[in-house]
Chain A
Amino acid sequence: MEGDMEEYKQEFIQEAREYLDLMNQNFIKLENGDLNAINEIFRVAHTIKGMAGFMGYKNLEELCHKLESAMGKVRDGEIEITSEIVDVMLKAVDAIEEMINKIEEEDSDDINVSDIISDLSEFMQEKKDKEQVREVDLSKESFGNANIRVDVYLSEDCIMKSVRAALVVENLSEVSEILAVIPDENDMEKEDFDGHFTVFIKAPDVSKIEDVMSKIAEVDRFEVSLLEEQKTEVKGEIEAGEVREGETEWDKAKEVKEEGRGKLLKKKDRKFESIRVNIAQLDTIMNLVGELVISKGRLLQIATEYDIPELKEAVSIMDKSITSLQDEIMQIRMVKVERVFNKFPRMVRDLARKLGKKVEFVMEGLDTELDRTVLDEISDPLIHLVRNAVDHGIESPEERKAAGKSEVGRIRLAAWREKNNIIIELEDDGRGLDVEKIKQKAVEKGIITPAEAESMSEDELKMLIFAPGFSTKDKATEISGRGVGMDVVKTTVEKLGGSVRISSKKGEGTKIRIHLPPTVAIIKSLLVKVGHETYAIPISSVIEALYVTEDNWKVIHGNPFLIVRGKLVPAFKLRDLFNVVDGKPEREVGIIVEREGERYALIADTIAEQQEIVIKPLTGYLAKIRGFSGVTILGDGRVVPILDISSLLGGDRLA
């Protein structure tokens, strides 16, 4: 048994975390008046309790039990949902999370939760006189909904009867909705438990139940009997009161399960649908595919160099397979944005309550998919932006009322796919950006000179909130002043090859739009030569390339510009930026790139070729280097730096 436990522990932790997410989401729904959420929380608390009991984490089990009972009271209408109660319950959820963390690190759930338990008890105490009634209601409801009764007799020689019983219940819960277990889990723990117990369930199909039961070891015998559909009056009332209906309830239960993906104890036929894969392994596979792409490049080069048509053909077939493989793996790495978004409702709620603000938080496009790496990277910046929207964006109810707005502020977080980009948009109807204030602040902080401030457009001024060292609030609050600044948001997004845009109207709100590439690992790039050195420029930022002769140049105020079809484009000579001293060719090329909607020209010697490259990050000393997002290895083994347009051009000249 010991070994099994250790094996299950990791899965238990992962699942418990998924359930916690679910719980958090449902609490927010509940507070917003969605009564269906009660049942889900109840069920989730029950599931975690069951798993904790099975794994032997008594503290966790008790806390879940308390939470479950409290939810029971809420469900029975004995406790009215108020923000205070939700606060206490959320604290319990946090404590559960803490325990899970501790279990992961030290294999112990020893966290002091007596305060929370007593708080929870207090809420329940208020209605103690109704306790008896509740029990009756619960049991009535449980039996009322049940359509199947399973009597289980465990083998005489079964050593841990209670654990085996829990396993049976867990397995049954995979294919049905468990409504009651008699005797209950606590009684099973007792010495005199004889191995006979009865489970009342609701399931559409008896054969499935028999199927599941027959596969469990150490069960001496079992009896599955159909109960009559008894639609008693009592049950009818409960259903009406709780907006529950038999069939939808079943679906919902299934839905919850589906969301939980792999189960602690897996249902057999679901194994074919999905398996858990270690993220590190996925990364390794991704790297290997990267190596393959490089090797393919190498082969192609050899084929061209020695002019071997057969090899060329073989490589082109291999190329097809590699491309499919690459696509497949990219697809596996894609995760839904809801993984990150789901944290936000709870966060917004807590923040708004703390700040005394009223906020309606809406999320859209939760199933939009992003590469896991991109999503992980973007997670912290998004948290910052959402916090900012609540803290700085949305005004206090009084302020909003005075401005003639609804007291409740609205924040909308949406994600969708547009062509080859993923767009994440955060919009609030708060106070908006005060351009004058930004201007003043930026000058004060020495980010721009007063002269610059006057010459800047409104959009440029708004972008200043992303400048390092900028914060419009006079005092950094506990909420927003947390080290991650708006500048980090921008640099992170740009490092991923995306861009941030902001639009805002004073008094009406702010909209921040983030464009992201769905994946980052393999990109198309232009290889250019500067002297003897080769550099890669991501194609995504390239608009066009053209030859440059002396006539194309114009120097204004000491700064070189390139004339492209009559328009002046600021030019950067890579030769100078990179201190290349080799001889300069007579005719150079200008590569026109776009950054934040502006065009710039990068001047190189020649364009070598266009190629798919695998980004390898720079580490250590070079991790934070400006101007490069990483390096790549070419087919011939050469290492080539990849230009990062935004940080390359973010130098002194533009600031």
Chain B
Amino acid sequence: MQSGSVQTLKGDETVQVIVFNLGDERYGVDISQVREIIRPTQITRIPNAPDFVEGVINLRGQITTIINLRKRFGMEPKPIDNNTRIIVVEFENAVIGMMVDTVNEVKYLSVSDIEALPNIITAREEAKFLKGVGKLPDGLLIMIDLNKVLSEDEVERLK
């Protein structure tokens, strides 16, 4: 694992990526967009919220909306367990937490190693949140597009 990150460090322009899992797939999100990673705390459900919204938590006095990334991606939900983590991101002045199965590591990825997804994939409903694919020595990493995952327009559209 360690060697993997060192190897990719030599590229000209690199990004640091937080790698997390949903089911068997590995996903990545640019670390500059991530504020912190926390374990699930008591989540208050907000009735009538979109179904992928788990509720809100009190993150040191700040109300933080928690979304379930599995549900957001149209995957089967999974009960919270010891590995469950919440990736807290700042997006358009709002703080949002994304609940994921597990968070694995931080990797360096050369920008040139990130490829846009072929149209045939992005056109599919479940792939519309994806930004590209990162190539790592130990396999592929799907980069998610926070703009699409979190924007309200997208939510409006879903309704």
Contact = CB atoms under 8 A, between A and B. Distances in A.
25 contacts: A294-B61, A616-B63, A619-B63, A620-B92, A620-B94, A620-B96, A620-B150, A621-B50, A621-B65, A621-B67, A622-B53, A622-B56, A622-B65, A625-B46, A625-B48, A631-B46, A637-B58, A638-B44, A638-B58, A639-B44, A639-B56, A639-B57, A639-B63, A641-B44, A641-B46
B81 interface: no
B95 to A, nearest CB: 8
A626 interface: yes
B2 interface: no
A621 B91 CA distance: 12
Contacts of A640: 44
Interface string B133-159: 000000000000000001010010000
Interface string B45-87: 1111110010111100101010100000000000000000000
Given A631-B56, A639-B57, A639-B63, A622 B45 contact: no
B70 to A, nearest CB: 16
A618 B50 contact: no
A626 B152 CA distance: 15
Q: For chain A, what secondary structure do more than half of its interface residues adopt (helix, strand, loop), or is it mixed?
A: mixed
Nearest to A633: B58
A626 B91 CA distance: 23
A640 B45 CA distance: 9
A638 B58 CA distance: 7
B42 interface: yes
A622 B44 contact: no
A638 to B, nearest CB: 7
A639 B61 CA distance: 10
B1 to A, nearest CB: 34
A640 B44 CA distance: 7
A625 B49 contact: yes
A622 B61 contact: no
A638 B44 CA distance: 8
Given A627-B48, A631-B44, A641-B44, A618 B58 contact: no
Interface string A626-655: 111001010001111100000000000000
Given A631-B63, A641-B44, A622 B49 contact: yes
Given A625-B46, A631-B63, A633-B61, 12 more contacts: A618-B56, A619-B65, A620-B65, A620-B91, A622-B46, A623-B152, A626-B48, A631-B56, A637-B58, A638-B58, A639-B44, A641-B47
A577 interface: yes
A578 interface: yes
A185 B91 CA distance: 52
Given A619-B94, A620-B96, A627 B47 contact: yes
5 nearest CB pairs, A to B: A578-B47, A639-B44, A620-B94, A619-B94, A616-B63
A618 B57 contact: no
Nearest to A532: B45
Contacts of A627: 47-48
Contact of A620 (B48, B57, B58, B152): B152
A579 interface: yes
Contacts of B55: 639
A454 interface: no
B50 A577 contact: no
A618 B152 CA distance: 13
A619 B96 CA distance: 9
Which residue of A621, A623, A626, A631 has the most chain B CB atoms within 10 A of its CB atom?
A: A621
A640 B47 CA distance: 12
Given A639-B56, A639-B63, A618 B46 contact: yes
